[in-house]
Amino acid sequence: MRRLGKTSRVLNVLTLQDRRLYLCVGLRDDMSTFLPAVLEAGVDVVQLREKTHPFEDQLDCARLMLKVCRDHGVPFIMNDSPESALEIGADGVHVGQDDISVARCREILGTEAIIGLSTHSDSQFSAALLEDASYLSAGPIVPTPTKPGREGTGLSFAVKSQLRSDGPVFVTGGVNLETITELVEAGLRHFVVVRAITQSNNPGRSAREIRHALDNALSAVAVEPTQ
């Protein structure tokens, strides 16, 4: 098990362990206003997760997102492609079980890059603990449209995964304003949010409400919230 150091590429203010609210978002026409609003509201890690738009459109959007994230001291992560992360100077990459290996990502991006790896079962998580990943994700706790065809792993898998790792384990699936307090009370500390923010009519307000509920829940269980 590894304890994570500070990310020297992003202001060196917070460790990944300190970061609590991780947003995955695809291309948006309003990204130039959407992203600053949610970062100011308390989102503290951002990933561009885009599976359908042309590659060049993804890179153009990623460059915009990277600048906004830099201005707010927030890590910006690309999905799947370490080559794309390297090209635009992103802070790292997130890969799945069927994507390029963590070891190859390290070769491409170097020792200081943030590399995340998804896990969906106990066996995958056990193997992931042996990888040189900066953080792991566990889930989805419940089925979600962002992972079509994938069954929910249940809350117990996420809680057990967090207990097994010294580093942050970002849980996915069904994280929203209604569930965040219960998830913290169950022992979870790091959360990936998608639809609760990206599909909101007021993303900034929704992000702020989730962050406020998260910080209150952390305080109630004697964990100091960080932003």
Burial of 86: CB neighbours in 10 Å, binned 0-12, 13-18, 19+: middle
Q: Is residue 5 part of a domain?
A: no
Is 79 among the domain residues? yes
The owner of tokens 């079980």 is: 97
**pLDDT for the residue numbered 185:** 97
Q: Positive or negative CA dihedral for 171, 35, 51, 198?
A: positive
Which pLDDT belongs to residue 44? 97
* C-alpha–C-alpha distance, residues 172 and 187, integer Å: 14
Asked if 81 and 59 count as a contact pair (C-beta separation under 8 A), the reply is no
In the chain, how many H helices and how many E strands? Answer: 9, 8
Distance CA 26, CA 101 (A): 23
Query: By the 8 A CB rule, do 141 and 171 touch?
Result: yes
- Is residue 128 situated within a structural domain? no
Q: At residue 18, does pLDDT exceed 50? A: yes
* 146 within domain boundaries: no
Whether residue 148 has a cis bond before it, omega within 30° of 0: no
pLDDT value at 40 more than 50? yes
What's the rounded Cα separation, in Å, for the pair 56 and 214? 36
The total number of structural domains in the chain stands at 1
pLDDT at 11: 46
CA angle 200–187–173, rounded 5-degree value: 35
CATH number at residue 59: 3.20.20.70
Global pTM reads 0.92
Give the closest residue to 169 by CA, choosing from 139, 147, 190. 190
Residue in the structure block whose two tokens are 């307090």: 181
Task: Give me the count of residues in the chain.
Answer: 227
Identify whether 35 is part of a domain: yes
Out of 143-157, 176-190, 209-223, which region has the weakest mean confidence (pLDDT)? Answer: 143-157
Please report whether residue 63 resides in a domain: yes
Could you list the residue range(s) of the whole structural domain that residue 111 is in? 17-115+172-220
Assess if residue 156 is contained within a domain: no
Distance CA 90, CA 79 (A): 11
147/192 Cα distance (integer angstroms): 13
Q: Report pLDDT digits (tens) over 131-172.
A: 999 999 999 999 877 666 668 899 999 999 999 999 999 999
